[in-house]
Amino acid sequence: MMIKFILLFAAASFYFFINTAIAFPEHHPVPGGTVVIELSSADTPQPRAFYKKQKVAVHKYDDAWYAMIGISLNTKPGRYEVNYQFDDKKQYHHSFVIKNKTYKAQYLTVKNKRKVNPTAEDMKRIVKERQIKKAAKNTWSDQTVHSDFIRPVDGRISSIFGLRRFFNQQARRPHSGLDIAAPQGTPVKAIADARVIETGDFFFSGNMIYLDHGQGVISLYAHLYKTHVKPGQLIKQGDIIGEVGETGRVTGPHLHLSLLLNRTAVDPDHWLPAVKAQ
Ligand SMILES: [Zn+2]
């Protein structure tokens, strides 16, 4: 059963949903969250929507079109806008408020010191890989997003999204995904239908796969032992795309899952069905 809440902010109204099997992301207007905002009724043409000049995912649900906007971790609390337009080019906008959220710190010890303090040679590789990652993140395809995601692996959540990270006592970028601990070789499933964007062996992420779910919604699977897919391949939700491993900068075998929207990493947990009671 779906519970629907209505919030009013000035002229803008928007809806969010809580559902036991999430067929739609939860509305979390915080840094690292996803904003779900109603744009227009479903009888209008599909609107094109933009946040900070980036195209955002638009999804039809029940009787309306919704924008699903990724809010970056470094966003300051305050009022923001989504702009949208139909075929007639007239611009419309809704505003929404981003609230504050404080993320905890996490201290990790990595045995391979080069993964924390790369050599000059490693840096050359890292710089090259940044370009590949950037290109993968910029992927946009127009197909409809099927947001009724499944969990890629069953297992204990070993690290949540957004933690402020310290590796061997040194501050590094916050955690951009969700870590699920599982033994090496555990099959990893695609969270939704997709096209494979990129696969490869990366310095920090180890063996990694990028999947395009449409409209800038991209999932990323890192530290894999093996990858079973190739760029360009079309896959179905639940297909085995790789195996859990401990490649790259890790403290043990786990899957790192990131979810990107409008080129921004958001908390995947707001999109995934709840973990079943053990
Ligand atoms: Zn991770």
Q: What is the mean pLDDT of residues 183-193?
A: 97
Question: Cα(34) to centroid of ligand 1, in Å?
Answer: 19
Question: Cα(88) to centroid of ligand 1, in Å?
Answer: 43
pLDDT of residue 203 exceeding 70, the answer is yes
Rounded to 5°, the CA angle 260-78-215 comes to 25
Ramachandran region, residue 160 (left: φ > 0; alpha: ψ -120 to 50; beta: rest)? beta
Question: Cα(197) to centroid of ligand 1, in Å?
Answer: 20
Question: Cα(159) to centroid of ligand 1, in Å?
Answer: 7
Q: What is the mean pLDDT of residues 263-267?
A: 97
pLDDT of residue 160 exceeding 80, the answer is yes
| Structural domains of the chain, with CATH | 3-98 (2.60.40.1590), 120-160+176-270 (2.70.70.10)
Question: Cα(178) to centroid of ligand 1, in Å?
Answer: 5
Question: Cα(256) to centroid of ligand 1, in Å?
Answer: 4
The DSSP call for residue 231 is T
Question: Cα(233) to centroid of ligand 1, in Å?
Answer: 25
Question: Cα(144) to centroid of ligand 1, in Å?
Answer: 27
Distance CA 163, CA 11 (A): 35
Q: What three-state secondary structure class fits 55?
A: strand
Mean pLDDT for the chain overall: 88
Of residues 228 and 26, more confidence is placed in 228
Question: Cα(253) to centroid of ligand 1, in Å?
Answer: 11
- Cα dihedral sign, 196-201-203-208: positive
Task: Kindly state the tokens that stand for 209.
Answer: 């796969």
Question: Cα(112) to centroid of ligand 1, in Å?
Answer: 16
The pLDDT assigned to 278 comes to 47
pLDDT tens across 39-84, in order? 999 999 999 999 999 999 999 888 899 999 999 999 999 999 999 9
Nearest CA to 52 out of 259, 264, 212, 218 is that of: 264
Its pTM surpasses 0.75: yes
Question: Cα(195) to centroid of ligand 1, in Å?
Answer: 22
Question: Cα(219) to centroid of ligand 1, in Å?
Answer: 13
Name the band, by pLDDT with cuts 50, 70 and 90, for residue 15.
Answer: very low
Nearest CA to 72 out of 269, 278, 268, 265 is that of: 265
pLDDT tens across 225-239, in order? 999 999 999 999 999
Question: Cα(183) to centroid of ligand 1, in Å?
Answer: 15
Question: Cα(244) to centroid of ligand 1, in Å?
Answer: 12
Question: Cα(257) to centroid of ligand 1, in Å?
Answer: 7
- Cα dihedral sign, 122-123-125-126: positive
pLDDT of residue 179 exceeding 70, the answer is yes
182 - beta bridge partners? none
Question: Cα(271) to centroid of ligand 1, in Å?
Answer: 17
Q: What is the mean pLDDT of residues 11-22?
A: 39
Cβ–Cβ under 8 Å, residues 180 and 191: no
The pLDDT assigned to 276 comes to 59
Lowest-confidence segment of 12-21, 131-140, 185-194, 200-209 by average pLDDT = 12-21
Q: What is the mean pLDDT of residues 17-38?
A: 78
Question: Cα(21) to centroid of ligand 1, in Å?
Answer: 24
pLDDT of residue 19 exceeding 50, the answer is no
Question: Cα(181) to centroid of ligand 1, in Å?
Answer: 10
Question: Cα(7) to centroid of ligand 1, in Å?
Answer: 33
